[in-house]
Structure 1
Amino acid sequence: MHNQISNFKRSATQFAFGSITLAVVTLASFYLQTHFAAMALVYLLVILLFSLIGSSVASYALSVLAVAALAYCFAPPAFSLRIDDPQALPVVVAFLTVSIVGTHLIGRVRQEREAAHEAAAQLRRGAADLKDREKRWHAIFEHNPAMYFMLDEAGTVLNVNTFGATQLGYARDELIGQSVLGIFLKEDRAFVHKCVRTCLENIGQSRTWDVQKIRKDGSVLWVRENAKAMLWADDQPIVLIACEDVTERKRTELALQRSEAHLAQAQELSHTGSFGWNVATGEVFWSKENFRIFQLDPQTAPGPELVVERTHPDDKASVQEIIDRAMRDPRDFEHEYRLLLPDGSVKHIHARVRATRTATGDIEFVGAATDITAARQVEQQLRRSEAYLAEAQRLSHTGSWSWDLYSLDFVYRSAEVDRLFGFEPQETVSIETIRSRVHPDDLPRLQEVQRQAIEGKEERFEYDFRILLADGGIRRIHSVAHVVVGSDGNVRELIGTHMDVTEQYAARERLENTLAALRESEQRFRDYAETASDWLWETGPDHQVTHLSEHTSAAGILATGLIGLPRWDIACDVEEEPEKWRQHRATLEAHLPFRDLVYRTVNRMRSPIYVRTSGKPFFDLNGNFLGYRGVSTDITALIRGDQTEQELRKAQAELAHVTRVTTLGELTTSIAHEINQPLAAIISNADACLGWMGRQTPDLSAARCSVEWIIEDAIRASEVIRRIRALAKKGEIEMVPLDINDVVKDVIALVARELVNHRVTLKTKLTEALPAILGDRIQLQQVIINLVMNGIEAMDAVTDRTRELVIQSSEDGTGYVQVTVTDCGVGIAEDDTDRVLDPFFTTKSSGLGMGLSICRSIVEAHAGRLSVVRKQGPGASFRFDLPLHKELVP
């Protein structure tokens, strides 16, 4: 109705404006004297114009009005509705027809345009509304405080809201396109896959389950998932899952379960059962531990009468009275009674009950029943122990106490403490009276203990003090105490014991006197043990022998014959070695210990023996010198062994000298050649010198050169003779730093002619700048000459290959210099390899078998080793290793 009225008003308004417009046009036409047909066209344009912007009803009304104005004003006769002109009537009819049809068509077009505009506007409003709703639903999906997942049939994540991804620690892009099983525990994935398959098999039905999900950081949260499968736009099934975080709920449930389990375990461990009793309804609850305490089957219906039935006959009346009173007057109560169990055992029960009201106003008793049988047994044992302790303290004269460090009074003291101070156990004694019994000289020590305990400097104290008894006697007390720390962290008390050690103190004085003599005896035998012995001896302050052990008989010495003699009267070498004995006497006079004094004496058979002795002075408790104690050893065999070894070394040196001389004899040809060469050169150069001098004008320059050549050749001959004399010389071993390469070169100069005579090619591989060794040049030359000559002889029978001898020197990196002599001769049989260095072993028909043995002795005397080196191919290889000179090693 409102719209109709509004349309009518709008049409009336348009008609009014249109009428005014027609009137204005009509007046203008009168003024311009417009023709009838032209006026009809103008009216038509006005009507059509208004039909475009106005309503159809107003346009129709304007058409009728325009026809009337046209017939009245412009069709003859003027100012009359009658039309006399036959040509004007068709114009009026045509005008009316065109205006109505045009108005109708324009109205239709305008309506269709308005309908189109309205449809477009509705479409825009619908699109905006759809976009707005999509935005709202997207916001709801994204920011809803729940996790949403959209999955395809394979379980791949098609979409996930931001909240869900954030809850799991991921970005949305990290989850979309991935299998949803990746965010579940491995053991739960099969379960989740089964749940998803069930949803897909039941389109449209919801399914709920609880499961754990894994966050990106590895932590786990519990979720409750509500899933439903539905068909997507392309009829493809998808699964929508809404996940609710129930971690806290699960934790609460688990905590509750653990709490219940812990409570059950706590009840079992503490032997405490819980129960509830609703007086009005008669409903009774017992915990599992309560059934165990009463030794009843948990299926048994519990009740107050069952408690009375299990109660010990002597306690039934009191238990029944407690139950009856609780029913009459519901108040908290506490009771202790005994149970008599079917197996005849007795249990002590302590029950505590609290009266409460339920939500319905009923009275309910909630309580706990504790099996205190063990506590009662311990209490009985404790009473017995207290009695035993009191008796033990009386027998051992030991009292226990506890002292408050701030109130300066005893918190507790046993009866024995009073007895130690000379009071009767029932006697009332003040702290001042007890303190007056402490010896005045010992009070500062007790006060110092209190101060140190308060300051926390020590936790345990052990001290002695004296008690002055009423009869004038003194009782000695040994006290042991430790601190007790209060809840505030400060030391509150000292707990300790007082022990009467008066008898022990007296016994200790007697014991100390006894121990003095024992210490002296122990010291004597300790000295004997420190010097370890063949026989033990002791001298007085005048250094005369006062004691000899029986071990002297092993050396053939009669102990009784030496008592009272000083050591220098027993020795036989005092005149031979006066300096040694002078120093020994000075040591004795200085009361200093001495070690390893060696002297010669005779045994009971008057045969010479050697003795090594060591001793140390001993003193009394006041530091007075009492003499010496020590040990002596018969080292005659050792001395004679050393002498034998020296003689053996001398014999070896003699043999080595003979061998060198023999070798020189074998090298006679080479030596003669080495000497003849420089002698022949000297003769030639001397003749030349005479020739230069005998000229009419002497050629002094050429003569000088000849003389210089003579000198050089003489030096060469002298050097050869020096080497020969050195090898032939019989002298002491001279250990000096040597370059082993120089020793090798000296040998090569001596054997050069032998190498030529036996058609042997010599190759040397000498490592430059080798570290020095410590050795005797002549003996080492002998070793190398022997090895070279053996190699030359070993190649005499070789005709099918070059006779080649190789001498090498090197450092092995372990502190040794190596020299190797290798030939390509007949070699050494496998069976002879281990014996070739032994004395008197030889493969030569005319050999003595001592050459290589002597070489080995020489090398070993230089702390080295000589060995046969296994080699590939024919021939043999010998190598000796010598240690570097330590003083020259960086």
Structure 2
Amino acid sequence: MRSPISSLERSAPQFTIGSIALAVVTLACLYLHAHFAATAFAYLLVVLLFSLMGSFIASSALCIVAIAALAYYFAPPAFSLRIDDPQDLPVVVAFFIASIVGAHLIGKLRQEREAARVVAAKLQRSAADLEDREKRWRAIFEHNPAMYFMVDEAGIVLNVNTLGATQLGYPRTELIGRSVLDVFLEEDRAFVRECVRTCLEDVGQTRTWDVQKVRKDGSVLWVRENAKAMLWGDEQPIVLIACEDITERRRTELALLRSEAHLAQAQELSHTGSFSWNSATGEAFWSRETFRIFQLDPETVPPGPQLVVERTHPDDRASVKEIIDRAMRDPSDFEHEYRLLLPDGSVKHIHAQARATRTASGEVEFVGAATDVTAARRAEQQLRRSEAYLAEAQHLTHTGSWSWDVHALDFIYRSAEVDRLFGFNPQEPVSIDTIRSRIHPEDLPLLQQVQRQAIEHDEERFEYDFRILLPDGGIRRIHSVAHVAVGSDGNVSELIGTHMDVTEQHAARDRLENTLGALRESEQRFRDYAETASDWLWETGPDHQVTHLSEHTSAAGILATGLMGLLRWDIACDVEEEPEKWRQHRATLEAHLPFRDLVYRTVSRTGSPIYVRTSGKPFFDGKGNFLGYRGVSTDITATIRADQAEQELRKAQAELAHVTRVTTLGELTTSIAHEINQPLAAIISNADACLGWMGREAPNLPAARSSVEWIIEDAIRASEVIRRVRALAKKGEIEMVPLDINEVVKDVIALVTRELVSHRVTLRTELTAGLPMILGDRIQLQQVIINLVMNGIEAMDAVTDRTRELLIQSSKDDVGHVQLAVTDCGVGIAENDADRVLDPFFTTKSNGLGMGLSICRSIMEAHGGRLSMVHKNAPGATFQFALPLHKEAVS
């Protein structure tokens, strides 16, 4: 309602003034006797002029008033609103339309001008506001307590605020235009480049990362960077990076981590673990040391009171449950001790102490510590045991302990052994005068002098000898050691000491002197042993130069004086041959870390190469300053040469195995020739047949095609025989691959079939299907099986009273290994030879070398298997071997 009322309020003045103007025009026109059309034009001008004041309502009202004035004063008949002249009516209509349309157009124009003025004012205000905002954001960019970088997609700095440049020690102009990667560590630049690339791939998405920046002076600070990619005015992407200095935070985090590590180390050293337990929620926390004490894995076992009960010794479990239940009913501090029964059967004594606290939510939480006091309890048991042992030891060593009151001149305490030393029964009361009567009269003044000196506090420790006169007339020599005890008043109150029977020591002194001479001779003998050993000690300084060597390095052919001041890599001769080994060794030395078993080659005084194994450990002074290394070196030349000889031996064994395979091939020549000739003969027959089919007047192409297919099959069969022979004859490295033992057996059968036929031997196989894969060298396993088959064939040459049958069986043994057995029905192995049949150079053949089975055993051992002979009651012999499964078959 406010808008129409406001419009009427603005229209009233316009209508009033317009009406006055129309009245004035009317009077003027009446006075001048103006024509009807001229008067209408004058009225139109008045209406249009007043329409500029802004109210269409007022203009419309003035138009109506003007029409009434025209009709009343100027249209005949005068002074009447009726218009009789038809020529005047179009003028009135034209006047009305022109005034209304003109007023409307002028109003629209005025409104548009007003709107344009308002828009211009708004634009002016927006421009001022934008300029003010730009100044404000520029001030924020420049003076914000954070580093701001603006970089393009190539990583070039477009802008940087003053704080960012100042923090890095640069002027702004020096950073703008440079690559932003220049202010990062070399090893972090790839990471930063990847972060910027990620921001550019997802425009508008904020990314955050922590990284180190390098100041101009080379110092480093940690920053947390928040980056966002956005499109610039020309639609080019830029990355705005805000950097927060978190150097102190990182230092605090590192200090916290170090503190946690120190706490964990302290707990480990003190065998004390911490824990917390919320009795309301059941939530619990154990430190790593607590898990270690309970021998539990923190990654898999959740902590809690129930876990404590489960680990508690059965005898203590009821008391532990009672304490836990009482803590849940009445939240108060508790302290108790119990035993743990660990899975390995060992027992630990635990002292637990907890304090009840309130959390922020008002819940009760127990915070405490569990200490492994096993050592203390054992020490207490040991102490009680030691007290008994001490009494027994005093009796056995004839040593008594005592305490003497220097003022009352009487014993405060004396052990039972003291009475025994003086020849009294410990169970009978003895007066001090009676005891004095047993001391040799010549020694009483010495004891009195000791008491006097103790009172005067001339000395704090006394050591003296005296004699005791025994009732049987014997003399007992006593060695006494005592020290003064000072009371709270600063005066000596008592003497505490021991009496030791040294009668036997005095008697043995002469024997001791003789023994010392023998001991010196023994010490020199062991010194000679140490100096002639192959190990020698060495020491280097902080610059890693040799500063000390044992004098007996000459045993290894090394002159100690010639190595002083040299570096280890100056002594070695294999630095250029093994640079990586020496680089790692030098890095270990620079890091001041211990090293073990570094092996290098050097030369002796005579120029011959020797091999040295050395180990060392850094040592430091009291302030932690590095002083050098100390260690021990050993001449391992003999060991290295033995390893080299063993490698040569293995090479010779491989050569011998190859020779054996070739020899076996020679023995199988007839079989191999038969296996090749058979498919070759078939090829010739099929080729002749093919020519016959093709030579007919009407060639029989299907039959000829079948002949060609048979030729191809026979050629492949011959090729397979040649491939197997070449593989056996080939000399190469062992190739361990997954194998099916049944397939290996089938390859062997193809090679020995002719030998079986020529020796009239029947082959029977019992190959278990579905055996798991083994890992082995196909050629070497074929060699073993061929050797066992050929031995079985030869063992049955003399058999005439029964069928010559050879049995090959494959199966799994009791431990899951793949097992292969070759059984013949020949003459067998004599009982005396059974234990030696696998030894090198042992043979039962007249023309054998005795190496076949020995080589087979070596091949089996190299495969992790075992070759053995099975004793049987029936005629013949059985040799079998077992091989472990391939790891994939096991899994």
TM-score after normalising by structure 2: 0.41
